[in-house]
Amino acid sequence: MNTTSLRFGMIQYTTATEVANEFPSLPPEVEEGNIEYKLKLVCPTESRFEHLVTQMKWRLKEGNGEAIYEIGVEDNGLMTGLLKEDLDASMKTLKEMANRLDAEIIVICERTIENVGQPSKFAVEVLVRKIPDCQEV
């Protein structure tokens, strides 16, 4: 595992890059709480996008202004990952969702999932954090 430390204001995050040779998994997603699993967020329709924004608002509320999004992960927790193009498109959608709610996104961990004879796929863990209305200097 490769790690990189990042500092955002007073908070330091460590991003980790892992390589898995099989489909790793997380516990199944739960309805309550601030953790959301999304296999992909590629080109949602307008109504789907609005639903996703509402869902993110709920997760942020559950986490007192912070939510964790697991991209490339099925609801049952299986990390199937995404091809690079789909990951990029999903991250673009996630950023647009966060912008609608005055939130920021920070990649916490990126995992590379490799299977013999197939292109590498990726899964990422992303912190979505509400930007405070008034920041003290």
Element (H, E) at 57: helix 46-62
Cα distance between residue 24 and residue 41, in whole Å: 20
Lowest mean pLDDT among 40-49, 101-110, 113-122: 113-122
CA torsion through residues 96, 101, 106, 108, sign: negative
Lowest mean pLDDT among 3-12, 16-25, 50-59, 91-100: 3-12
pTM for the model stands at: 0.81
- Whether 130 shows a pLDDT value over 60: the answer reads yes
- Whether 17 shows a pLDDT value over 50: the answer reads no
